[in-house]
Each structure stands twice: as C-alpha cells, then as structure tokens.
Structure 1
Amino acid sequence: SVTGGKMFKGLGDSDSVKCVIDGNAGAGAWWNCVGAVGRHGSPPGIPGPNGLTAYRSYLYIWKPGD
C-alpha cells in the first residue's frame, strides 16, 4: 500500500509550490508531479510514482475521436 499522498489519484492542481500539477488528489504533497518547479531527493529529481524519485516526466493528452 502506498501512503502519504504517493498513490496516483488523477491529475489536478498541486498543493505544493514546487509543482504545477500532481496526481495525489490534494493530499498536501507533490508525488506524481507534472510540471515540477522544485527539486526532490538526492541526487535531485522530482517525486515520481509510488514514492520513487523520477528524473523526467511526460504528459500525453489524448482527445477521443482523434
């Protein structure tokens, strides 16, 4: 079980000043960050999936019917 706001629950506005959009559903953290403007961990990265540190992120948007 992933706790502390680390489980992906859908993208939305981040509560953190270090991230624009995250996937923790307002849990007060910035895990699953998309659009990081801060650093996390050592070596520095961004909060990724399941409590791991990531070093890049991609956001793909799909419009049904295209």
Structure 2
Amino acid sequence: MSTSQSGASQPSQDRATPDTLLHIRPGTDVSAEDVVLASGKDLTPRNLEWAERKLAAEGPAALDKLLP
C-alpha cells in the first residue's frame, strides 16, 4: 500500500500569493495591481480603485507598508 497522497503535488487554492508576484524590481513604478496583490486581495475593479486611491495618497511607499 502506498503512503503517498494523490494530489499532494497539486498547489493549494488557499495559499498566499508567491513572492515573485509581490515583489517588484527597484526603480520600477508601483501599480495598483501590485498594491492589491500585496494586500492579499483579489484583483477586482473595487480593489483596484482602492489601490489607486492608496497610491495617490501614499505614493510608492504604499506597497512598502504592505510587504514584510
């Protein structure tokens, strides 16, 4: 009898956003999409509007405040 689980190599649907999607290269512009993903929210029109307002108020530091 095998002890391996079928599907054990499948990614979980409730995992956090991977770092490669959260971190941007230095010197690049921060987009509203970056802020939404860093906050862990879904990319929806409402969340993108929230992120645009946050970027307008805080500038690129908005992303820094969300990341560890």
Give the TM-score range, shorter chain: under 0.3
**Higher-strand-fraction structure:** 1
Larger Cα-atom Rg: 2
**Higher-helix-fraction structure:** 2
Give the alignment's TM-score, normalised by structure 1: 0.24
Give the alignment's TM-score, normalised by structure 2: 0.23
